[in-house]
């Protein structure tokens, strides 16, 4: 995990996005901040030509503890903030992302403490140096180890203390993560309850996903369907790693071949994969993999992969904005290389063409057996 942190920090320090619960006159909608970028093709608004884009960045830095305190208050609704410099002071903060997911880095050269209330967000966090304590006065308080991610408490204020150092964070809009958690199930969206920490082996797939998606997510040129797929991959990785188990979590057990194959397909559905690639990841022969899939899943590995990609494309299209993306961009990001076959398979599975999904009501997620949820 420290490798991810180092890469994210060296690429760009990730500042915190302004708290969506706090009104901003420059934002026309709470879930989609309107950033005005003069380097984009513009639409006219009187004498000024601007266009709203999907990705936004925030950069803050300074040498005054008071400015750092004000930033914490603005972004996290912080109170009772104490910053205790022991020598020259400096802070820097960066946030890069869209209104669904943002990667952030906060570096402070002083000890600090306070009570944070991030609002309707879920936050994954890890410390480069370790030593950050969440809920220090509670029996279930957590002390961060270097490079090991935890889920920050959601839905309530929490106290924290931190030594000088760097924190990396991933912020998820609550409506988005809650909707992803129930897509394809009969459940309705509800607030999510995460364990703060999980066994380290549960984090391996998440750490791999972070290493793979962080460079692209820190690139502001990655927008539209490409970014929607990255948001979805990271959301699913966090849900898979931290979703509480009925027994509170058990030591890891061996993973069989079909689970290894599925894990590989979920992690790499956006790139070309052959049956041999999947079998190699599962550590079995192609024939054994095919026979096992047929027996357990009633289908072939390649058919399972196609259906997986179709499902990812559908969610990406439902989450996307027709003004910012295209069917082709989403399809390519989900691993499809032949648009005709993609369109035919999609229509056959969902009863509508992908363009109809993209042009439908903005960011509506159909949940089997439940209401249709609007997340933006």
Distance separating alpha carbons of residues 246 and 350, to the nearest angstrom: 33
Q: How far is it, in rounded angstroms, from Cα 363 to Cα 317? A: 8
Encode pLDDT of 124-148 as tens digits: 999 999 999 999 988 888 999 999 9
Indicate the pLDDT class of residue 361, thresholds 50, 70 and 90.
Answer: low
- The residues near 67 (Cβ < 8 Å, ≥ 6 apart) are 60, 91
Q: What pTM value is reported for the model?
A: 0.60
Distance of alpha carbon 18 from its chain centroid, rounded?
A: 17
Residue 41, pLDDT above cutoff 50: no
363 phi-psi bin (left φ>0, alpha ψ -120 to 50, beta other): left
- Position with higher pLDDT, 297 vs 338: 338
Q: What is the C-alpha separation between 374 and 376, in angstroms, rounded?
A: 6
Contacts of 19 (CB under 8 A, 6+ apart): 74, 75, 76, 77, 118, 119
pLDDT digits (tens, 9 = 90+) for 276-329: 999 988 888 888 888 888 887 788 999 999 999 998 898 888 887 788 789 999
pLDDT at residue 234, rounded to an integer: 95
Strands 133-134 and 101-108: unpaired
Cβ–Cβ under 8 Å, residues 31 and 20: yes
Section 95-106 average pLDDT: 94
In eight-state DSSP terms, residue 7 is H
pLDDT of 19 over the 90 cut: no
Query: CA dist 32 to 17, 35, 186, 216, 359, Å?
Result: 12, 9, 28, 20, 18
Question: Residues 27-37: pLDDT tens digits?
Answer: 333 222 222 22
pLDDT over threshold 50, residue 359: yes
- Are residues 323 and 316 in contact, defined by beta-carbon separation less than 8 angstroms? no
Which residue is it, tokens 């259906």?
307
CA dihedral 174, 358, 32, 21 (to 10 degrees): -30
R_g (Cα) of the chain, nearest Å: 22
């Amino acid at each position: 995990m420290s490798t991810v942190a180092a890469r994210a920090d060296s690429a760009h320090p990730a500042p915190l996005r302004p708290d969506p619960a706090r009104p901003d006159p420059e934002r026309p909608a709470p879930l989609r901040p309107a950033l005005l970028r003069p380097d984009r093709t513009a639409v006219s608004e009187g004498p000024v030509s601007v266009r709203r884009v999907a990705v936004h960045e925030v950069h803050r830095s300074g040498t005054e503890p008071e400015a750092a305190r004000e930033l914490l208050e603005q972004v996290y609704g912080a109170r009772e903030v104490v910053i205790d410099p022991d020598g020259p002071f400096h802070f820097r903060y960066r946030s890069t992302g869209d209104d669904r997911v943002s990667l952030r880095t906060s570096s402070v050269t002083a000890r600090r403490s306070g009570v944070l209330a991030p609002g309707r967000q879920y936050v994954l966090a890890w410390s480069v140096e370790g030593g950050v304590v969440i809920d220090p006065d509670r029996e279930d308080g957590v002390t961060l180890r270097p490079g090991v991610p935890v889920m920050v408490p959601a839905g309530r204020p929490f106290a924290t203390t931190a030594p000088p150092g760097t924190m990396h964070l991933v912020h998820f809009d609550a409506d988005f993560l809650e909707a992803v958690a129930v897509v394809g199930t009969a459940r309705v969206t509800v607030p999510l309850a995460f364990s703060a920490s999980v066994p380290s082996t549960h984090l391996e797939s998440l750490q791999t996903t972070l290493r793979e998606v962080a460079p692209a997510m820190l690139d502001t040129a990655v927008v539209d369907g490409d970014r929607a797929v990255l948001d979805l991959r990271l959301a699913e990785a966090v849900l898979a790693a931290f979703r509480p188990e009925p027994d509170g979590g058990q030591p890891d057990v061996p993973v069989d071949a079909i689970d290894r194959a599925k894990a590989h397909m979920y992690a790499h559905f956006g790139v070309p994969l052959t049956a041999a690639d999947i079998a190699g990841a599962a550590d079995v022969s192609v024939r054994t993999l095919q026979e096992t899939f047929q027996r357990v899943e009633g289908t072939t590995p390649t058919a399972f992969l196609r259906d997986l990609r179709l499902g990812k494309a559908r969610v990406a299209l439902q989450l996307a904005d027709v003004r910012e993306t295209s069917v082709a961009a989403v399809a390519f990001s989900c691993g499809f290389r032949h648009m005709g076959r993609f369109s035919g398979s999609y229509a056959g599975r969902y009863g509508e063409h992908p363009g109809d999904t993209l042009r439908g009501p903005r960011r509506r997620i159909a949940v089997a057996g439940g209401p249709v949820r609007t997340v933006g």
